[in-house]
Structure 1
Amino acid sequence: MPTWESGPAAVSVVVTACAAGERLTALLAAICAQRPAPLEILMVDNRPATSGVAELVRRLDRPEVRYVPQPRKGLSRARNAGLAAARAAVVAFTDDDVEPADDWLAQLAAPFADPSVACVTGMIVPVRVRTPAERWFQQFGGYAKGERMRRFTLESAVREGLYPYRAGRFGSGANLAFRRETLIAVGGFEETLGAGTRAGGGEDLDIFLTVLRAGHTLVYQPAARVAHPSHPEYRQLRRQLFGYGVGLSATMTKRFLTCAPDRRAMLRSADAAARYLLSGGSPKNRGREADYPKTLIAAELAGVLLGPPAYLWSRASRPWRCVALRADR
């Protein structure tokens, strides 16, 4: 079976989950079947007392799948636990409910041949678009970021309005990879953000901004594809878009309070950001059709308003970091 050897081209895959199920079983099998195969798969269990993930890994009986329990709640904490346990030079992260293409990992790892690249994101396509809610999510923007490979650096700011703060511009947390030493050097994922915190999301945008601010290059690689299910029901979608609003403004609040260059940039672009968010003709909103519910717009904006206090609450209640990140493994 072809595989990456332990070295600069080796890849560890981190999967985080709170419950065992058919989708997770299928995902692990699909990752094991990638060609070349990953050096290891870190199955991080964020609810080890009740999830059944440990038993699933035992039944799978694959030596490349390593079980990593992380009882402290939070997606960013779980990802950092996987990062700390990883042994490969490149660490890929994905969700527990995606369906990767056969060459997903090879395509995701390919841009790292360029030593300036520190992060690569891939394309996320919908598993299906059948219900009105699934169609509205695509009108909202969906997960896919286009068919063209793109390179991003901080200097890209001279070419794009609101760069680099447009949510989702670079990709999403369900399909991304980093050089392990770079991700550790910048502190890993922000544990006051992400699912399982009061902020609810935004950890992917935050780490993208951190990597760019550190002078590295990010590549969007559309050939690295996974399929991701969308919520089929209106209420689920409304809750999701509310969470997106919270996560976006929580992340912007974090950046404003902790990064002086971001603070100055946000103050300069405040009017443009408001137009982007609220104008029906902005790149964010012009894809909506006539039947797009106004209640979904209201839910997202309500989340945006609640994001700053949500971040402050999350930061005030933050425990000490659970996992020490070390590059010398």
Structure 2
Amino acid sequence: MIRNPYASGDPCVSVVIPTVPSNDHEDVVAALRNQTETAFEVLVVDDATLDICEARNAGIEAASADIVALTDDDCRPPPDWVASVASAFDREAVCVEGSVSGGRTYRGTGLYVGCNLAFDRDTALDAGGFRSEYAGWRDDTEFGWRMESYGPCRYDPAITMSHPDRTRASIDADKETRLQREYPAEYEERIVPETALGRVNDWLWRRGFWNAVDRIRYAEGSR
């Protein structure tokens, strides 16, 4: 099911939000109704039978605009988010990633975090969209790395996203291994840590230590 809670006559950006009926997505839609840019549309793909990759692909196919911007149902886009996305494509990029702050933080290291990612719709369709083999873990990273072979991809710090809560994703070792096997050069350059401290931190992360710490930290913060 795809809902269209906000639309203009000639949208410059199509915002796609993959979700499921059990998740609240009214707050993110409310934030999108408060944008400085008005010429855009919002497509909420609300279907529990689809994995996140299938939901994103359904939204891309249904989009009316040349530019598609992704965010998630637990994010809060600032008022200038859509305007910043539209401006980012003046330089003919095919994919642009932005920063994320809050329960999830990201500052643009070529990993293409899906809650703040925009791209050319036709290029994404030509590339085959998101691959369900990675659904739930690294699907956005794999998509971004694949898009790099179709044209310029870059980070734009002006495109910001608030992710108030901690991410719901947790590491999937099989998908992580698959990504490393399919993209060895990108993996070595962007994911494998360079320092001894970084390697220790990476070892702990892969074994779920930091996920456990986050669960305790957020549980205490909610009391």
TM-score range, shorter chain: 0.7 to 0.9
One-letter amino acid of the counterpart of residue 124, structure 1: V
1:53 alignment counterpart = none
2:21 alignment counterpart = 19
For the 8 Å contact 1:31–1:100, the answer to whether it is kept is yes
Q: Which has the larger radius of gyration?
A: 1
1:172 aligns with 2:113: yes
Deviation, 1:120, is 1.0
SS of 1:174's partner is helix
- State how 1:244-259 maps to structure 2 within 5 Å: 245-253=173-181, 255=182
- Which whole-Å deviations, capped at 9, do the CAs of 1:277-309 have from their partners, x for residues lacking one? 59524xx448x6xxx9x7545338xxxxxxxxx
TM-score for both structures, normalised by structure 1 = 0.54
Aligned-partner Cα distance in 1 for 2:23–2:131: 28
One-letter amino acid of the counterpart of residue 251, structure 1: L
2:77 alignment counterpart = 100
- Which whole-Å deviations, capped at 9, do the CAs of 1:127-168 have from their partners, x for residues lacking one? 5xxxxxxxxxxxxxx53216xxxxxxxxxxxxxxxxxxxxx5
1:225 aligns with 2:160: yes
For the 8 Å contact 2:110–2:155, the answer to whether it is kept is no
CA RMSD of aligned residues (A): 3.2
- State how 1:139-154 maps to structure 2 within 5 Å: 143-145=105-107
One-letter amino acid of the counterpart of residue 249, structure 1: T
1:126 alignment counterpart = 102
Deviation, 1:190, is 1.2
- Which whole-Å deviations, capped at 9, do the CAs of 1:232-255 have from their partners, x for residues lacking one? 9xxx8xx72x33x444322233x2
For the 8 Å contact 2:74–2:165, the answer to whether it is kept is no
- State how 1:187-198 maps to structure 2 within 5 Å: 187-195=128-136
1:206 aligns with 2:115: no
- State the number of aligned residues: 202
Deviation, 1:184, is 0.8
One-letter amino acid of the counterpart of residue 213, structure 1: S
SS of 2:192's partner is helix
- Which whole-Å deviations, capped at 9, do the CAs of 1:8-53 have from their partners, x for residues lacking one? xx1110001113555x111101112212125311110131xxxxxx
1:40 aligns with 2:16: no
Aligned-partner Cα distance in 2 for 1:269–1:30: 34
